Amino acid sequence: MKAWRSVRRVVETLLDLLYPPHLYCICCGNLIDATRTYHLCDHCMAHIRWDTAPLQQLEKPVAETAEPQCMVQDADAANGGGYASAEKRKSAVGAADFFDADSGIPEMQKLRCVQYGLYERTLIFSLKYNGKKYIARDLAQIMADRLALAGLAFDLIVPVPMFLAKQQQRGFNHAALMGQHLGKLVGKPCYAKALLRTEHTLPMRGLSPTERKLNVKGKFALNRKYAGALKGKRILLLDDFYTTGSTAEACFAQLCEASPSAVYFLAFAAK
Ligand SMILES: [Zn+2]
């Protein structure tokens, strides 16, 4: 595995030398000059739906809406994993609502950078499925600016974890990558292993809100090694998307086990 990672790093470095990422818009791939904010072309900059609302303005959608088209191929979908099979979806249904956190921790306040849509989804998919890890730096800068605009103070960052086998397959956890870049930008630690995803979960796309809740039920755990580091702290929980909030709420319940003083949720994109 180590040898394979080394080979992959060499290939990525060579590709960066051949095709310097800063010369291309991170969303549409058009040529840009180095002065562009977030390495976005004028067209994408104008079409991305930036959010400037204050904290807690992020509402849970009551119904699923159609997935927007995307400029980037979804590798999971191409492999048949983008939408859960009918059988898998059926097996995920059947239990009642399971959120019973009675921890005394204030309700999680939420923030998004952009409204979920074609351009916004393309940015994340380019990072997740096309392996363009350099995009995480720009997304982290967008997050840093968004946090500054909202005036949100926090002590540390905890990214939503991936199941280890899936992370090894992809080679990285995109949320952790964004969290690490964000941590450097804002001068806060990022604890990528503070939460663990203990079991494989189905891709959320294509699942109903109830199915999403059941899909993540019992699949996250607090890493007890970090309980002391999180106690009494203001945690910024970070993920790429926020749709029904199932993943965020499941992570919130686990983080509460460490008795933080507050948990905020930052999504790059949300509906
Ligand atoms: Zn563009």
- In tens, the pLDDT along 83-94 reads 333 333 333 322
Residue-level pLDDT at 34:
81
Q: How far is the CA of 212 from the centre of ligand 1 (A)?
A: 32
- For residue 105, name the pLDDT band (cuts at 50, 70, 90): confident
Q: How far is the CA of 142 from the centre of ligand 1 (A)?
A: 15
Q: How far is the CA of 28 from the centre of ligand 1 (A)?
A: 4
Q: Is the pLDDT of residue 67 over 60?
A: no
Q: How far is the CA of 7 from the centre of ligand 1 (A)?
A: 30
Q: How far is the CA of 24 from the centre of ligand 1 (A)?
A: 8
- Give pTM, 2 decimals: 0.77
As annotated, the residues of the chain forming the CATH 3.40.50.2020 domain(s) are 50-270
Q: How far is the CA of 11 from the centre of ligand 1 (A)?
A: 25
- For residue 1, name the pLDDT band (cuts at 50, 70, 90): low
Q: Is the pLDDT of residue 9 over 50?
A: yes
Mean pLDDT of the region 144-150: 95
Q: How far is the CA of 40 from the centre of ligand 1 (A)?
A: 5
Using an 8 Å Cβ cutoff, are 264 and 235 in contact?
Answer: yes
Q: How far is the CA of 54 from the centre of ligand 1 (A)?
A: 27
Work out the percent of the chain whose per-residue pLDDT is above 90: 54
Number of Cβ atoms within 10 Å of the Cβ of 210: 16
Q: How far is the CA of 32 from the centre of ligand 1 (A)?
A: 8
Q: How far is the CA of 41 from the centre of ligand 1 (A)?
A: 4
Q: Is the pLDDT of residue 95 over 80?
A: no
CATH architecture of 50-270: 3-Layer(aba) Sandwich (3.40)
Q: Whole-angstrom Cα distance, residue 157 to residue 238? A: 7
